[in-house]
A and B are shown apart, each in its own frame.
Chain A
Amino acid sequence: MPAPIIKVDAISKSFGTFKVLDGLSMQVMPGEKLALIGPSGSGKTTILRILMTLEKIDGGHIQVDGEQLYHMERNGQLLPADERHLAKMRQKIGMVFQLFNLFPHKCVMDNVTLAPMLTKGVSRAAAEKRALELLDMVGLADKAKAMPAQLSGGQKQRVAIARALALSPKIMLFDEVTSALDPELVEEVLNVMRKLAAETDMTMLLVTHEMGFAHDFADRVLFFDRGRIVEEGKPDEIFRHPKQERTQSFLKKIIAAGHRV
């Protein structure tokens, strides 16, 4: 059995007095597609943000791809990670945000090529060639010269996916990537993610309220509540036969709100 690519060990995180994550532990296998579901404030987005080093942890350890994320090993001792170590670890991880976070002053092409050129020293020509391949993959090769403000929400999110992929991360984090989209634009983004899952062996973690998509897409579903994982299992187990009462009542509410499971 291969080693897990992500190993989260008893991490805790508070915002002020509010405990978002409470001794959370989880493991993700290489290539695994994981869906994180649960009510808002349950800590599912926070764990993604912690993996992307956008939030610091208060306690615990995280291992990514065999190395400590927030600590460095020096002479057998674990020290807090410095900026250089974090930069090295970030190379393994990419993230797509709910609100796209594209750079509004740069065209689509420059959005995608900026980071590879700056962080990996890729030449402009090579970066643009790769960007065109990625834009083609997300169905936007004809929009390379467009500015973000000229795109629809779904197109923006597909550019954001291409931009994250341009750094060839081993792990991709998707934080409610369809929540800000008009309903008719959701599917084009989900299709890109399906394609990504089918064509690559990337490890993918997604926080989502699209239960139908989570069911079809994920190898494993984690149900979060109050900073803990209440229940986890195969999509069929979680969605058809949830064992925990919290999971049952959450899914009932979601279905009542009109989401397909």
Chain B
Amino acid sequence: MTQWSGYLGLILQGALVTIELTLMGSVLALVMAFLAGMGRVSRFFIVRALATIYIEFFRGTSIFVQLFWAYFVLPFAGLSLTPLQAGVLALGLNVGAYAAEVVRGAILSVGREQYEACTALNLGRWQGMRHVILPQALLVMLPTFGNNAIELLKATSVVSLISLADLTFQAQVVRSQTGSTLMPFVSVLVIYFGLALIISWGIRSLERRMARGLDGVRA
């Protein structure tokens, strides 16, 4: 029994790495999503072009390949990353590309009359974006951001391929050391699922908080 708890300890250590990757990857993804998503609706052609290239490139190539590039190829360009850094970079850039389209779609979903009110009140482009358009667009983005975050969580397992000891990696370790398949794989299944549930709940309560007052019922 003590042996099992030791193995469970290994898996929990892996879970911590997975959580760490998910959090840091999500932060990077969020930053990239806003940069590229707002870049896509920019007035300037060059900004739009750069944002489009980023999005299409990272959506159009596999996350495995991106991770291998970050970890194995970048050192040739003089940039050596730790497995964790490479993982965060690949995950953040990859999921950020998907989320950028969410940001763009949400910005465009805010009605033209809101933009016109901004003009009539003489708000600058950025002022209107910051105080009027984005706060309303954010509410539209949230549910899909939840999807993106869960996708990111599940994609973290690819880092086991560059020997980062995440949840999936540790499950393999436990399996090879104990010969038991069921215990490690059931554990990681439950843990991934639990983490995904936490993300769902988090996003939903955020949605509720932000929607407060908008429907005229809650104030």
In the docked arrangement, what's the CA distance between A114 and B139, Å? 20
B123 on the A face (CB < 8 A) = yes
Closest to B210 in A: A105
How many residues belonging to B are interface residues under a CB distance threshold of 8 Å?
22
Q: Which of B116, B122, B135: most chain A CB closer than 10 A?
A: B122
Q: Say what secondary structure dominates the interface of chain B.
A: helix
In the docked arrangement, what's the CA distance between A107 and B219, Å? 10
The number of A-B residue pairs with CB atoms under 8 Å apart is 71
Chain B contacts with A in 172-219, Cβ cutoff 8 A: 213-216, 219
Residues of B within 8 A of A105 (CB): 135-136, 139, 213-214
Residues of B within 8 A of A163 (CB): 121
Asked if A150 and B116 sit within 8 Å, CB to CB, the answer is: no
Known: A87-B124, A91-B122. A107 touches B213 (CB 8 A): yes
Asked if B120 and A94 sit within 8 Å, CB to CB, the answer is: yes
Q: Which of B125, B139, B216: most chain A CB closer than 10 A?
A: B216
B42 on the A face (CB < 8 A) = no
B119 on the A face (CB < 8 A) = yes
Q: Which of B116, B120, B139: most chain A CB closer than 10 A?
A: B120
Annotate A72-111 by CB proximity to B: 1 below 8 A, 0 otherwise: 0000000000010001001100110101011111010000
Residue in B113, B114, B120, B132 whose beta carbon sits within 8 Å of that of A52 in the complex:
B120
In the docked arrangement, what's the CA distance between A128 and B27, Å? 36
Asked if A147 and B216 sit within 8 Å, CB to CB, the answer is: yes
Closest to B43 in A: A83
Residues of B within 8 A of A167 (CB): 121-122
A1 on the B face (CB < 8 A) = no
Asked if A90 and B113 sit within 8 Å, CB to CB, the answer is: no
A164 on the B face (CB < 8 A) = yes
Residues of B within 8 A of A101 (CB): 113-114, 116-117, 120
Query: Smallest distance from the beta carbon of A203 to chain B beta carbons, Å?
Result: 16
Asked if B131 and A52 sit within 8 Å, CB to CB, the answer is: no
B127 on the A face (CB < 8 A) = yes
In the docked arrangement, what's the CA distance between A103 and B123, Å? 13
Using a CB–CB cutoff of 8 Å, the interface residues on chain B facing chain A are 113-114, 116-117, 119-125, 127, 131-132, 135-136, 139, 213-216, 219
Q: List 10 A-B contacts (CB under 8 A).
A: A54-B119, A90-B122, A91-B122, A97-B120, A99-B113, A101-B113, A118-B124, A118-B131, A119-B124, A167-B121
Q: Give the top 9 A-B pairs by smallest Cβ distance, nearest first.
A: A149-B216, A115-B121, A101-B117, A147-B213, A90-B122, A95-B120, A101-B113, A150-B216, A119-B122
